Amino acid sequence: MKRTNPFPSVSILLPDDIVEDNDSTVASYWMAGDSCLLQISSFLREREPQFSAAQRLSERMEAGGEWKTFKLPQEIPGCETAAALTTDAQGVCWIHVYLVWGWLAVHATVSQRGEPTTCDWAWNSLSSIRPTVM
């Protein structure tokens, strides 16, 4: 396992054999031969409080589609969480997760054709996300 900083405000623990693609707004992670995809982005606020995880998720769900709330397989200590899943027209299931600390919000998606709850490496990595600034 390796700890990396996809953004200056976020660290995450990833398997050694992970493949990654980062741009200035989204970090994407996957493993060769595995259809699971983990993507994260972060939003830093220096002056005003963050919107809650529930409010961020609610706004995403209002954009349309059929959604079901989702319980994360592992607790992420020290932050507020909210998650829901939706399935697109191609049968890909997308679980949107918001993690919110007072100064930082992380939006993550775990996706896979079929059932993404089997994406153990992605859930383990997601549960390792920590803020690196205060």
2-131: in CATH 3.30.365.10:
no
Task: Give Cα separations from 40 to 23, 48, 129 (angstroms).
Answer: 11, 22, 10
Closest CA to 111 of 93, 133, 86, 91: 93
For the entire predicted model, the pTM comes to: 0.92
One pLDDT digit (tens) per residue for the chain, 134 residues: 999 999 999 999 999 999 999 988 999 999 999 999 999 999 887 777 778 999 999 999 998 889 999 999 998 889 999 999 999 999 999 999 999 998 899 999 999 988 877 899 999 999 999 998 64
